[in-house]
Structure 1
């Protein structure tokens, strides 16, 4: 019954948004209230559940998305994004611009959250589209797919890292094994998906307010050194903190400070301050002029943040309604391979709950008792759960709404593009885990 409720709620949401053309924020809240009522959440508790779901989601993403959008708009309004975009096109050529986006996304995304890396890179993708007149998905989709792969498959991202701790698995070995299939599979799907006929028929416009419409001359743009330095500054802070954390003991005196400046909100705040100076007073522009870029970005982000927050409310009522506990009890005694079961439970939870992090942590709790007697490497179990958690991203996933809004897609087109690629990545990921297991067995490891 709980899974039927999930299915009906998804269909209801699609009806409200595609047939009735209802605003996504309103539709998500209405369906969330309906699910809460059907699942028996008490009337007085429903507002708190909705607020908690929105708060959890917005609390995690608002600072990151807001600051990232401001950095991107500041760089766009001074020509820095155009400088980087032009360099990528000149280096790789227009024919290989997708490869450039995949390489950039994988290098940045291996240590950064999907949302953080997305808001850092997407202004460059928007600028490439505006300058070259290429299809937005032709440039942006490879970036998103590469980031999704890195975020969902590999530590030090939160889901895989949490499961590694739960399974007492080595984070380093998990990353090492995962790279063998995450990079080739992610690159393959990133380059194939934009070429599929149903994707090529989509031709969305860049959302208004997120990128400047001005085309700069070479003399007007800041130099490549400053442009690239500002773009990579948060990457260096966040990635450097992650590497430092793995390399030193918990008692290290500098660790708290490094962790602080390497957190995504602080790293992006420092980057925004650097951008305001580097592309403002440093080149003779007043702070008031540069601050207008921040205001424009904030206005453009308002509806995107509302929709993402409502997606969190929808996820919240599904969790509060006990659907994760139902799935856990349902799958307790299934007699299948531990690796496949770990993957499948994560898939089912992902479909039902939307949140990859909730799915991966809950699935870990279900399969953890199997590890001791299974003989399976705990690192492979981590990867199996992580790969399953990316599958079937759809309307109960706040990340789905971020993808939809940034790429200005209808709900149906977003499902066609994102739900399909996340599912194929999950299936390929399972195959990759099984292939690594076979290789380790053949080597006697």
Structure 2
């Protein structure tokens, strides 16, 4: 049963009351974590209860929504985080991550290192979901920062910018695909314009913003956690080529799936096979199995020794999974109460540019619910009338405006906010000063560029 069916009072709650409930709930979570020093997992649960009390919905009923959101979030990203942590641990323990870092630091001057990791994240982010790409690249981020004696945000911000914008703007990510379908946009044209738009946005929000973020939060790479290193000189270190091939394997599998869906007829045996192996969970599972060989037994370790690394990879991410799941639960609470719908309907009544309306709709729903996909779908449905009479290029730009809006202002109701906070070892305030600011800069830069192009094609 869907969680909406478990909230019989949701339709009777006034719009103003819903907005107030959401705002107080978000503020409560921030205060509980930063002032009361309560664990984020418990704070997010408490925030959901506060929303329930203000909205006038029974706490027992509302916590069913929280549990639904918790389960769906972990069902979507929990396995991916676990498999990614496994690959990441093997990358570190085999010193394969060191091979990549050696190549980066050896081939690029120190000043260009943020640009080098931006390029890697851009390639990885084309077909790969944000969470998977981040988990896989975390060992590279941490070791590059350590070896270069650089603040971690100087390396992390470019990676986050590239992964985040590819997720918001480019198929095969679910939000852009859903909006393209809803607005009947041309897929190829949207991808072409999206690539052209993503590059300058990533540059500004990534390597150009990174030095500023590093000054605001000069934290160095954490020594312990999900990407802690285990130096070992007894075994062979995998080569740069083998390590990079392992990292890029899920990228290749997911990209092959996308190409097959665009070029091969439905029901084709080749397409069916590629659709299966290109499913994110399957692609990362295959990569995890491959890493047992390329980053494990091929380095001279026995399977029992490799198993020690595998077992050690899961413990550090347990707390992260609980917090990420709780973020998804709080998000689902807001969605099921109808907060996003209230915000979207109020915005759609304004007489503004179609491009701005699409962006604002997605942005407000994203801020209210914390879900980029929910924001994209909601905005696409409400922006459909705006696409009437527009040229194919303009419709493609409308899709990208929704994508940019769906990535605005990540904060405490976004599971990704907590993932980044925990992985980078930041405080809530530091996460706001880095990741949240990035999610303001990137959409605004993108919209300025879109408006510039819109003025020429209108």
TM over 0.5: yes
State how far apart, in whole Å, the 2-side matches of 1:374 and 1:174 are. Answer: 14
Structure-2 separation of matches of 1:100 and 1:223:
19
Asked if 1:387 corresponds to 2:404, the answer is yes
Pair 1:375–1:274, CA change in 2 (3 A): closer
1:439 partnered with 2:425? no
* Superposition pairs of residues 261-272 of structure 1, within 5 angstroms: 261-272=277-288
Alignment partner, residue 204 of structure 2: 188
Q: 1 CA distance for matches of 2:39 and 2:47?
A: 12
After superposition, what is the alpha-carbon deviation per residue over 1:98-149, rounded to whole angstroms, capped at 9, x for unaligned? Answer: 0111000111112211111111111111121232322111111111111111
- Residue 148 of structure 1 aligns with which residue? 164
2:190 alignment partner in structure 1? 174
Answer yes or no: is 1:15 the counterpart of 2:51.
Answer: no
Moved more, 155-164 or 210-219: 210-219
C-alpha distance in 2, partners of 1:43/1:201?
38
Offset from partner CA, 1:334-369 (integer Å, 9 cap, x none): 111111101011111111111011011001111112
Contact 1:207 1:406 in 2 (8 A): no
Equivalent residue for 2:12? none
8 A Cα contact 1:332 1:366, kept in partner: yes
CA contact (8 A) 1:68 1:116 kept: yes
Q: Deviations over 1:240-274 (max 9, x none)?
A: 21122112222323222211111111111111111
CA offset digits 1:165-208 (Å, max 9, x no partner)? 00110111111112222111211221122211674443154262
Aligned to 1:402: 419
1:308 and 2:324 matched: yes
**Are the counterparts in 2 of residues 101 and 139 from structure 1 also a CA contact under 8 Å?**
yes
Gap runs ≥5 in structure 1: none
TM-score normalised by structure 2 residue count:
0.92
**Counterpart for residue 152 of structure 2:** 136
Q: Unaligned stretches of 5+ in structure 2?
A: 1-15
Distance across 2 between alignment mates of 1:22 and 1:207: 24
Q: Give the secondary structure class of the aligned counterpart of 2:425.
A: coil
> 1:282 matched to which residue of 2?
298
Residue of 107, 112, 118 corresponding to 2:128: 112
Residue 378 of structure 1 corresponds to 395
Is the Cα contact below 8 Å between 2:213 and 2:433 reproduced in 1?
no
Q: What does 1:286-435 align with in structure 2 at a 5 Å threshold? A: 286-373=302-389, 377-435=394-452
Alignment CA distance shift 1:177-1:218 (3 Å): farther
For residues 51-107 of structure 1, the C-alpha deviation after alignment (integer angstroms, 9 at most, x for no partner) is 101011111101111101110101110111111111111111322110111000111
Distance in 2 (alpha carbons) for counterparts of 1:174 and 1:309: 32
Change in CA separation of 1:332 and 1:209 when aligned onto 2, cut-off 3 Å? closer
Q: How many residue pairs get matched?
A: 441
Aligned mate of 1:125, from 141, 161, 167: 141
Quick check: 1:36–1:318 contact (8 Å CA) kept in 2?
A: no
Write the deviation string for residues 29-67 of structure 1: whole angstroms up to 9, x where unpaired.
110122123223334422321110101111110111110
- 1:386, distance to aligned residue in structure 2 (A): 0.6
Cα RMSD for the two superposed structures: 1.8
Taking the aligned partners of 1:4 and 1:198, their CA distance within structure 2 comes to: 35
Structure 1 pair 24–204 and aligned structure 2 pair: CA distance change class (3 A)? farther
Residue 212 to residue 20, structure 1, CA distance change in 2 (3 Å)? closer
- Name 1:165's counterpart in structure 2: 181
- The answer to whether the 8 Å contact 1:208/1:300 transfers is no
8 Å CA contact retained: 1:204, 1:408? no
Match of 1:35 in 2: 51
Structure 1 length as normaliser, TM-score?
A: 0.95
- Contact 1:105/1:146 (CA < 8 Å) preserved in 2? yes
Cα displacement string for residues 392-437 of structure 1 (whole angstroms, at most 9, x for unaligned residues): 1111111111111111110011011111111111111112222222
Match of 1:91 among 67, 89, 107: 107
Separation in 2 of the partners of 1:160 and 1:262? 18
Q: Distance in 2 between matches of 1:309 and 1:72?
A: 21
